[in-house]
Structure 1
Amino acid sequence: MTGTARSVVVVGGTAGIGREIARRYATVGDDVVLTGRDAHRAATVAKECGARGLALDLARPREIAAALEGIQRVDALVLAAISRDENSVAEYDIEAALALVTLKLVGYTEVVHALRPRLGADAAVVLFGGQARARPYPGSTTVTTVNAGVDGMVRTLAAELAPVRVNAVHPGIVGDSPYWRDKPPAALEGIRSRTPTGRLAGMADVVDAVDFLLRNGAVNGVGLPVDGGWLLR
């Protein structure tokens, strides 16, 4: 995004990829609001990035509209908040499953619902899913289901919000992200060796993908993998 400053909202912008997205747009002069569950942390990170901080908890969807009341206009909305969940059918944790489903499916949708009147005709929305949607692993019962659900959300929101564009980004293993960078090198090497590009995706790759989805006016209703072709092997 270049030229006239835009109003950018990054939900889940206090750490990891969300933080890097907020920093990118604040650096080029956009008016950025980032959110996090903790008000103090959101304010601290926002100050570091040159943005504004706002407390918002997607796991408490009935409070979302009130938390967003102060936002007047939205040109770009990025829903980057995620939660890690280890769950299986054999040992099913209902509370953990409900928390993740609420955060990503109900929470994401309620943010869009609350901000819908403030989205301009040329606004764009990007939701975060993940490649567990297409490659399940032990313990991904809820994660896989929810990330596949993000694709369904993208299609229905793109239809309902038109002409506002709605897309999703589906990162694979992001090697330099806070979650992955401290994993055993051997485990990451095994994934890297099975990736056709010969390297893992980095946070900068995901930020670039989000920027593309926000900028390109002809891309709508799609889920974009960012995994170096990991699913090909």
Structure 2
Amino acid sequence: MSTIVIVGGTSGIGLELARRRVATGDDVVITGRDGSRCAAVAAEVGARCRGVAVELSDPDAIGAALSGVDRVDHLVVAAIDRDQNTAADYSVERALRLVTLKLVGYTEVVHALLPRMAPDGAVVLFGGLAKDRPYPGSTTVSTINGGVMGLVHTLAVELAPLRVNAVHPGIVGDSPFWQAKPAGVLDGYIARTPIGRLATMADVADSVDFLLRNPSMNGVNLNVDGGWLLT
């Protein structure tokens, strides 16, 4: 039995992973911005799950928020946000918030929990394929996801023997964000994906499980996209 902390575990892929891990008998801590929602989602996941309110865009408060977590075998930082930002019409406020959340916030979570991490434990961070295939308005998102790659590399060296990896999902068709799109929006993406369908939340959760489980996976940035980047 292991204890896994999933930062950003109240919805989407993080919640999918929390359900899987509770079903296998692990103790799970999920975090989200809202304490009441965290508690409600944790209760729905099961008795082995509890919720903790953490705001990644306020790094100074992360340590105190996670102080009640006594033991960590595995850590998954899956919390994400989106920002439509271009160099021509640049919002410094939005950019600073996202950089703080996903780079400073991610790192501070690792810093706060490191004294309680098992020496043979593992960390998985979340990036995204905007690092490789930018789109109009992805200036901040593409840059930050590239930063996650660098963060994985430096942490894997610095924190050894603790293992650190990242998953970079493509378009996840059944995730709340993409599932809410109007009919037909995803057809073009499906048509150019070699496996004939988009990645699913279960696919991404399975890739996280693999990175946590396999003792030789370290310093890896794993794309999960069904081959979409090849086309």
SS in 1 for 2:150: helix
Q: Deviations over 1:20-39 (max 9, x none)?
A: 11111111111100000000
Alignment of 1:27-66 (within 5 A): 27-50=23-46, 51-66=49-64
Question: Which amino acid counterpart does residue 121 of structure 1 have in structure 2?
Answer: P
Q: Deviations over 1:152-181 (max 9, x none)?
A: 000011111100000000000000000001
Unaligned runs of 5+ in 1: none
| Residue aligning to 1:159 | 157
Structure 1 residue aligned with 2:189, among 186, 191, 216? 191
CA displacement at 1:88 relative to structure 2: 0.4
| Residue aligning to 2:111 | 113
SS in 1 for 2:185: helix
Structure 1 residue aligned with 2:19, among 17, 23, 36? 23
- Over the matched positions of the two proteins, sequence identity in percent amounts to 66
Question: Which amino acid counterpart does residue 177 of structure 2 have in structure 1?
Answer: Y
Structure 2 residue aligned with 1:7, among 3, 6, 9? 3
Aligned-pair RMSD on alpha carbons? 0.6
Question: Which amino acid counterpart does residue 21 of structure 1 have in structure 2?
Answer: L
Q: Distance in 2 between matches of 1:187 and 1:205?
A: 21
Q: Does 1:90 align with 2:74?
A: no
Q: Which is worse superposed, 176-185 or 58-67? A: 176-185
- Number of aligned residue pairs: give it: 229
| Residue aligning to 1:204 | 202
Question: Which amino acid counterpart does residue 180 of structure 2 have in structure 1?
Answer: D
Instruction: Could you list the structure 1 runs, at least 4 aligned residues long, displaced by more than 3 angstroms after superposition.
Output: none
Q: Distance in 2 between matches of 1:215 and 1:181?
A: 29
Q: TM-score, normalised by structure 1?
A: 0.97
Q: Deviations over 1:35-70 (max 9, x none)?
A: 000000000001111210000000000000001111
Q: Deviations over 1:175-227 (max 9, x none)?
A: 00000012123220100101111110000000000000000000100100000
Alignment of 1:204-223 (within 5 A): 204-223=202-221
SS in 1 for 2:103: helix
SS in 2 for 1:54: strand
Q: Distance in 2 between matches of 1:193 and 1:93?
A: 34
Question: Which amino acid counterpart does residue 40 of structure 2 have in structure 1?
Answer: T
SS in 2 for 1:136: coil
Question: Which amino acid counterpart does residue 181 of structure 1 have in structure 2?
Answer: Q
SS in 2 for 1:111: helix
Question: Which amino acid counterpart does residue 39 of structure 2 have in structure 1?
Answer: A
Question: Which amino acid counterpart does residue 110 of structure 2 have in structure 1?
Answer: V
Unaligned runs of 5+ in 2: none
CA displacement at 1:84 relative to structure 2: 1.1
CA displacement at 1:83 relative to structure 2: 0.2
SS in 2 for 1:139: coil
Q: Deviations over 1:84-108 (max 9, x none)?
A: 1100001001111001000000000
| Residue aligning to 1:147 | 145
